[in-house]
Amino acid sequence: MKVSDEQLKVFTIDSGLVSRKDIEEAERMAKEKKVSLKDAIVSLGSLSEDDVRRMEAHILGIPFVSLVKAKIDLDVLMLIPEPIARNNNVVAYTKDETSLEVAMLDTNDIASIDFIKKKVGLKILPRLTDVASIKYALLLYQKTLKEEFGDIIKSASQTLATQTDLDEKGLALLAEDVPVVKIVDTLLRHAIIQNASDIHIEPLEEKLLIRYRVDGLLHDAMELPAHVAAGVTARIKVLSSLKLDEKRLPQDGRFKIEADLERVSFRVSILPTFYGEKIVMRLLREGGGNFTLESLGFHGAGLEHIHDATRQKTGMILVTGPTGSGKTTTLYTILDILNAPEVNISTIEDPIEYQMPRVNQTQVRPDIGFTFAQGLRTLVRQDPDIIMVGEIRDTETASLAVNAALTGHVVLSTLHTNSASATIPRLVDMEAESFLLVSTLRVIVGQRLVRKLCESREEYTLSPKEREEMEESVDLKKILAVLKKEGKIEKDAKVSDIPFYRPKETKACPEGYASRIGIHEILPITAEIRELILQGADATKIESQAKKEGMLTMIEDGIYKAALGVTSIEEVLRVVSE
């Protein structure tokens, strides 16, 4: 609810805080400059913005809170990430089982309230506050981190000043030191709150740089003194059950924590660099695989091709793309469709990213000789109906996967290729026989992830020159036909009528983007494609034939989603050109 100018005028005069003469002067200014009475009163200096907010709170019956020097629980404060709090001027300060009280400068900011409600899943109770309270609360974010890091910095300075080369026992003791445990716990918790997908801990000459990857982009999170690196690295090695005194060779590990009733797995990779050991941790939220193909961005004919492949009793379904393109999530979603009581499903993975009920999941252990090939060889003797192989990396695994699909199994797997059509030559390079591929391949999915636009996007249409430039890489007429076929645009629409959208920065969505979705190209293995495979055709010829048969390329699927307002053209081009 908003306070009208008339309500504010009556209350101000009745309260005696502003003279009638000053109110009349403010009214004249408001009319001349076409601003609100509130802005005019503040501009004249009759009242401060905070004074007006207190009056508005009284008129609306909304509590006014002052947070200066208030004790705010860290867990409650962190329910709203610092960037959101700073840009929206909104702070969480107290909660119960069903509701969260937030202090705001503008309780009419419905977009921010809705955004926070979706994020925390609680009823939001907005309270008016003043600028001093917001500034104080924002300082708590930095102060909290500094306080938690202060002990480790101080402790590390004292401990490592005299010990520059600790042995395994010394590192083990350092890893259990309370300040070290605090700083690592804070880093992990902060990353979960920020919805990061990766944490990068990078040793530099004079500092330890912490970066988070959020929605596919890396952001600096904080910097720590270089001498705390030993403690942080040791703690993460202990959590991951890695060798503490091994600093010359790369190591890989894994651990889990529970945060806000959510179990999160961390996949750890440690690599020796010039200034020390760089650590990258991938965050995997357990139970996070409850997706549908539609929610992942699949649609239309491509979606039907995948469903057709899942109804087959034999054959291979392959998902391709670079690291971090969502291949595993797509595989698990398909696996969830296939997961029925009457089938036996076994997987061989590196690592197991999501745990699924009624699925026999096995993790490879290359360090003891348990590879994908060896695991797959054993799996086919376990009477499976469906086999998922985490990744086809070598000739032996490719051969075994093809033969498993040939002998009565459905096989799901991933490869690192740039497009769906490039997958077939890649398998041939791995010495998979062409005549076996045409008998086993059912569908190949190529994919990338793009950032999604927020609801506050800006609509526009392409100029003739922009359409001409776009036509060099995509077929806009084909995209228009797909939009019409799927009922997304009017039947009589022209290419010039296709709407597109730009990001629009708001308080609730500072960058104009939030979350990610897939763009795909789905290549069904038709009779014509099989013929090209037997002829040894390259990726270009296979893609050309698939496009003739109606396949949307990855960039075309991206432009299709841009036309729906899901993402932007710029975002699609950024991702596809990477």
Q: What is the pLDDT of residues 258-299, one digit of tens each?
A: 765 567 889 899 999 999 999 999 998 765 556 789 989 999
Same domain flag for 465 and 517: yes
Neighbours of 262 (CB within 10 A): 12
Give pLDDT tens digits for 196-240: 889 999 999 889 999 999 888 888 888 888 888 888 999 999 999
Mean pLDDT of 386-398: 93
Same domain flag for 194 and 238: yes
Same domain flag for 250 and 337: no
| Per-residue confidence (pLDDT) for residue 536, from 0 to 100 | 93
Is 29 part of any domain? Answer: yes
Mean pLDDT of 105-128: 86
Token pair for 98: 């069903």
Mean pLDDT of 388-415: 93
Token pair for 229: 């690196």
Is 449 part of any domain? Answer: yes
| Per-residue confidence (pLDDT) for residue 162, from 0 to 100 | 47
Same domain flag for 277 and 318: no
Same domain flag for 336 and 423: yes
Same domain flag for 281 and 337: no
Same domain flag for 52 and 175: no
Same domain flag for 424 and 553: yes
Q: Indicate the residue among 242, 258, 285 that finishes a domain.
A: 285
Mean pLDDT of 417-422: 94
Please give the backbone phi and psi of residue 258, each rounded to the nearest 5 degrees, phi first.
-115, 125
Is 526 part of any domain? Answer: yes
Is 180 part of any domain? Answer: yes
Cα three-residue angle 366-370-375, rounded to 5 degrees: 130
Q: Indicate the residue among 220, 252, 285 that finishes a domain.
A: 285
User: Is residue 145 over pLDDT 60?
Assistant: no
HEC states along 207-271?
EEEEEEEECCEEEEEEEEEHHHHHHHHHHHHHHCCCCCCCCCCCEEEEEEEEECCEEEEEEEEEE
Which of 144-158, 303-317, 342-356 is least confident?
Answer: 144-158
Same domain flag for 326 and 241: no
Of residues 544 and 67, more confidence is placed in 544
Is 335 part of any domain? Answer: yes
Domain CATH for 552: 3.40.50.300
| pTM, full prediction | 0.69
Q: Indicate the residue among 223, 253, 285 that finishes a domain.
A: 285
Of residues 258 and 562, more confidence is placed in 562
Give pLDDT tens digits for 318-345: 999 998 899 989 999 999 899 988 999 9
Same domain flag for 402 and 528: yes
- Residues with Cβ < 8 Å from 445, sequence gap 6 or more? 306, 317, 318, 319, 320, 330, 420, 520, 521, 522, 523
Domain count along the chain: 3
Same domain flag for 432 and 499: yes
* Stated length of the chain: 578
Q: Which domain holds residue 279?
A: 163-285
Rounded Cα gap, residues 202 and 280, in angstroms = 8
Is 137 part of any domain? Answer: no
Is 548 part of any domain? Answer: yes
Give pLDDT tens digits for 234-268: 999 999 999 998 889 999 888 988 765 567 889 89
Same domain flag for 484 and 428: yes
Is 304 part of any domain? Answer: yes
